[in-house]
Chain A
């Protein structure tokens, strides 16, 4: 920092000769003239001091009878003086600086974090559609409105934060663990909870609604587990009124799940020939300019692209991107897996499947999976006994239930009338 300040204000390297060098140095320090990098070569001293200090040392030079000579001039004032005739050069610097200032008013880099189900491309496309994407003016961006729009358009996103720093926009999102359809419905419409598959109820905890099953019951697909209607009975046990609500309960069903997988013994093996070509492309303001253009000329190749965006400092990105495309040639040959390799692959697939079940909070009670080996490959099939949450919904049938109540009420009144007549 100090050296930068010295550079900006300009400083000199001075040669000092004569007998009163020490006296001169003492006088300088007494009068608070800062001297640095003092060294002696034979009988001559060299030191550095600022331009302002140099103007103050004249009386002390005369007093001590030494001679001084400027050896070198450093710093911005001298540099500017040296190049003062190069007007176009300074105009270029000014133009570059103004261009940088102008370009820094736009977004040139977007980073999206925290997304897994909603892809980065989807989010970028959404931003682009709303003219909030790459190259949009920073002034026109309203982060809070963008955050609200993101949450509204993507039900899976429950939290968003958009931050502008330099020319970089960071979109941080958090997704809900359950998708919105699985979680509570938004509308106030009364709904029932129904069984998605055949199974046995292992546990039921009802928060709202009327439970129709109990633990241990066998249910078929489509059976109502919890009604979205709560009947109100009188002292005689007759329904006098009913309330509608959204059925809410944790109902766990023990189900049989089918698992099948096929692994073909034949596959195409890619073998790299070792030939590779690297192409450079410059992307300026979203437009591609190929550098040293040459066709790759390979029939089958793997393409790896690396993007390097120019930035001035940390988050100050600019719309100059160097794309490095690496083409690697390969030959395709038919190959056959060994039986062990196929088994390994089948096991890997099964492990991934189990992982996915675990992520969905599905409990596995029993695994009964067989591997059948054939000539063409390997077939895996079997069943899994799992316990999972029943979460399907259907709207509660209002009309029928109201008719029922009316019917029940009319039967009650008929009964009363009959009783009166008897009396």
Chain B
């Protein structure tokens, strides 16, 4: 039996019409940045790399790499993590 594929545009329309929470539907990471000193990350799978100058986190769709200086993690839980320090770039790979 042929598996039915969801068309991405149709999915978008459905999400818009039903007002569904986008982070749940797209499994997207929520990145909240406060200036260049603080970053909060939600909806991730795990940390790949942690160094003082960069932190690499795996989400469902992509990898988020935060580069900067003196990066520390005030808390790290299953749902949410916070990165503080001097943030220079945020990359989606």
CB within 8 Å for A32 and B48 given contacts A38-B73, A39-B73: no
Q: How many residues of B contact A (CB 8 A)?
A: 14
Residue of B nearest to A26 (CB): B46
Q: How far is the CA of A26 from the CA of B46 in the complex (A)?
A: 6
6 A–B contacts, CB within 8 A, in A order? A25-B76, A36-B75, A37-B74, A38-B75, A40-B50, A40-B72
Is A36 a contact partner of B49 (Cβ separation < 8 A)? no
B residues apposed to A, CB below 8 Å: 46-52, 72-78
Q: Which chain A residues lie closer than 8 Å to B72 at the CB level?
A: 37-40
Among A34, A41, A45, the residue within 8 A (CB) of B75 is: A34
**Is A76 an interface residue, CB under 8 A from the partner?**
no
**Is A22 an interface residue, CB under 8 A from the partner?**
yes
In the complex, how many angstroms separate the beta carbon of B67 from the nearest chain A beta carbon? 14
Among A22, A35, A38, the residue within 8 A (CB) of B48 is: A22
Q: How far is the CA of A329 from the CA of B38 in the complex (A)?
A: 60
**Is A30 an interface residue, CB under 8 A from the partner?**
yes
A residues apposed to B, CB below 8 Å: 21-22, 25-26, 28-30, 32, 34-41, 45
Q: Nearest 8 pairs between A and B by C-beta? A: A38-B73, A26-B46, A39-B72, A36-B75, A29-B78, A35-B76, A22-B47, A40-B52
Q: How far is the CA of A21 from the CA of B75 in the complex (A)?
A: 15
Having A21-B50, A25-B76, A40-B51, one finds 6 other A-B pairs with CB under 8 Å, namely A22-B46, A22-B50, A26-B46, A38-B50, A38-B74, A40-B72
Residue of B nearest to A36 (CB): B75
Q: Which chain B residues lie closer than 8 Å to A21 at the CB level?
A: 50
Among B47, B51, B77, the residue within 8 A (CB) of A32 is: B77
In the complex, how many angstroms separate the beta carbon of A380 from the nearest chain B beta carbon? 71
Among B46, B50, B74, the residue within 8 A (CB) of A36 is: B74
Q: Which chain B residues lie closer than 8 Å to A41 at the CB level?
A: 52
Q: Which chain B residues lie closer than 8 Å to A39 at the CB level?
A: 52, 72-73
In the complex, how many angstroms separate the beta carbon of A35 from the nearest chain B beta carbon? 5
Q: Which chain A residues lie closer than 8 Å to B78 at the CB level?
A: 29-30, 32
Q: How far is the CA of A211 from the CA of B90 in the complex (A)?
A: 94
Q: Which chain B residues lie closer than 8 Å to A29 at the CB level?
A: 46, 76-78
Is B50 a contact partner of A35 (Cβ separation < 8 A)? no
Q: Which chain A residues lie closer than 8 Å to B52 at the CB level?
A: 39-41
Residue of B nearest to A43 (CB): B51
Q: Which chain A residues lie closer than 8 Å to B46 at the CB level?
A: 22, 26, 29-30
Is A35 a contact partner of B47 (Cβ separation < 8 A)? no
Q: Which chain A residues lie closer than 8 Å to B77 at the CB level?
A: 29, 32, 34-35
Q: Which chain B residues lie closer than 8 Å to A22 at the CB level?
A: 46-50
Is A38 a contact partner of B49 (Cβ separation < 8 A)? no
Among B50, B51, B74, the residue within 8 A (CB) of A25 is: B50
Q: How far is the CA of A30 from the CA of B44 in the complex (A)?
A: 11
Is B47 a contact partner of A25 (Cβ separation < 8 A)? yes
In the complex, how many angstroms separate the beta carbon of B45 from the nearest chain A beta carbon? 8
Q: Which chain B residues lie closer than 8 Å to A45 at the CB level?
A: 50
Residue of B nearest to A37 (CB): B74
Residue of A nearest to B56 (CB): A22
Q: Which chain B residues lie closer than 8 Å to A28 at the CB level?
A: 76
In the complex, how many angstroms separate the beta carbon of B68 from the nearest chain A beta carbon? 13
Residue of A nearest to B47 (CB): A22
